[in-house]
Amino acid sequence: MNIAIIGAGISGCSCAHQLTQAGHQVTVVEKGRGVGGRMATRRMDGARIDHGAQFYTARDIRLQALNKQWCKEKRAIEWYDQVPGRTDIPTDMRYRGKTGMTGPAKSLTQRSKLALNFFVEKIERTKGWKILEREGEGRVLEADHLVITMPSQQMLELFDRSRVELGAESMGRLEAIRHTRCLAILGILDRPSRLIYPGAVTHPAKNIDWLSDNQVKGISQKPAITLHTSADLSQINWDVPAAEWAPELLASVEDQLGARVLSWVPHRWGFAKPLVTFGASHLHLPELGLTLAGDGFGGERVERASISGLEAAEAILGTIF
Distance from C-alpha of 13 to C-alpha of 95, rounded to nearest angstrom: 18
Instruction: Write the pLDDT tens digit of every residue in 124-172.
Output: 999 999 999 998 789 999 999 999 999 999 999 999 999 999 999 999 9
Neighbours of 55 (CB within 10 A): 23
Give the model's pLDDT for residue 321: 56
Instruction: Write the pLDDT tens digit of every residue in 163-195.
Output: 999 999 999 999 999 999 999 999 999 999 999
pTM of the model: 0.95
Alpha helices in the chain, H assignment, sequence order: 10-21, 61-72, 102-108, 152-162, 168-176, 214-217, 231-236, 246-257, 295-298, 302-320
Distance from C-alpha of 109 to C-alpha of 78, rounded to nearest angstrom: 22
Neighbours of 138 (CB within 10 A): 9
Residues 6+ apart with CB under 8 A from 221: 46, 47, 48, 215
Q: What is the dihedral of CA 32, 37, 40, 45, to 10 degrees?
A: 20
C-alpha distances (whole Å) from 91 to each of 80, 81, 87, 95 are: 8, 5, 8, 12
> Where do the domains of the chain lie, and which CATH numbers do they carry?
2-39+102-177+276-320 (3.50.50.60), 181-269 (3.90.660.10)
Neighbours of 21 (CB within 10 A): 12
